Amino acid sequence: MHLKLDNENIYYKEEGKAEKIFVMIHNAGGNHKFFQEQIKIFSNIGKVFAIDLPGHGLTKTMDKQYSILKYAKIIIKFIKKLNLNNICLIGLNNGANIGIEILNNNGDEFIDELILIDPPLFMKENFILEIEEFIDKLNTPNIEHFIEDLTSLLFIKAPNDIKLIAKQSFKSVSVRILISIFKDLINWNKNCNEKLLAINIPTLCIITDEHHCSYNKINNLNKNFEIGKVVGSKCWATLEVPEQINAMILRFLELQNLLISHILKKQK
């Protein structure tokens, strides 16, 4: 299904019928298939909108550069055009950072809960150097070989069919767009502390064995965040350990509903 937004023709997968809305934002180089196991589960308790960001998957674009802020503004337009609210927004990796940016642009008008899955935050020098290496390798003629290596290294024990999803996804994305996203990520992270402080809705941050996000830093920065950790996965945990991811999100939402029920009872 596609939705026309100004110069963008956004592809999204829509499943489910219930009132609760789940908006899913994938990682840099990914597409909606990175949420295939979450779509199956959450479409049973709500309506899922899993988006292909411009330049990814089935959302084609003529633009060559994108940033976290630019993607955030596109998602906000998407949400408003479809008149969505009562949203649980789920973001993976750079998609999580896009979610943070949306909340910093009045996203709490329509988003009730935020789920951050392995967001690259508080990036240390060695991680920045790693990203800069990615950028250099994306500029070489051996791009196919680099993607093969990258998608193998970023899984621990995933079966070949799961690895294939990642490989096919990365190979379909414009190199220029990937480079622009990675460059922007480095700059965006310089101000991530104040962006996290601005979030005041229920938020679950799920960290992985990759340690892209420091437990201590996020816990000290915003005490309102719930923090969980999966085992046996690097950054693409939605594909590698979906049962752990799904269970954590479901439990988090269950606790939020219990808390809301308790507050309403006290007000009566």
Beta carbons within 10 angstroms of residue 38's beta carbon: 24
pLDDT in tens, 32-78: 999 999 999 999 999 999 999 999 999 998 898 999 999 999 999 99
Q: Map tokens 């229920």 to a residue.
A: 202
**Mean predicted lDDT score pLDDT of the chain:** 91
- pTM of the entire structure? 0.94
CA Rg, the chain, in Å?
A: 18
From residue 84, alpha-carbon distances to 66, 79, 95, 109, 204 in Å are 24, 5, 19, 10, 21
From residue 150, alpha-carbon distances to 134, 143, 154, 170, 180 in Å are 9, 10, 6, 10, 18
**CB distance 76 to 107 below 8 Å:** yes
Residue 164 is given by DSSP the state H
- Please state, in angstroms and rounded to a whole number, the distance separating the CA atoms of residues 193 and 101: 12
Residue 140 has pLDDT above 90, yes or no: no
Provide the percentage of residues in the chain whose pLDDT is more than 90.
68
| Among 99, 64, 125, 97, residue whose Cα is nearest residue 188 | 97
pLDDT given for residue 268 in this prediction: 52
| pLDDT class of 260 with cuts at 50, 70, 90 | low
Lowest-confidence segment of 91-100, 116-125, 132-141, 234-243 by average pLDDT: 132-141
| pLDDT class of 214 with cuts at 50, 70, 90 | confident
Beta carbons within 10 angstroms of residue 119's beta carbon: 26
Lowest-confidence segment of 12-16, 102-106, 214-218 by average pLDDT: 214-218
pLDDT given for residue 142 in this prediction: 78
pLDDT in tens, 161-207: 999 999 999 988 988 999 999 999 999 999 999 999 999 999 999 99
Please state the rounded mean pLDDT for residues 107-134.
92
pLDDT given for residue 265 in this prediction: 56
| pLDDT class of 259 with cuts at 50, 70, 90 | low
Domains of the chain are 2-256 (3.40.50.1820)
Residue 258 has pLDDT above 70, yes or no: no
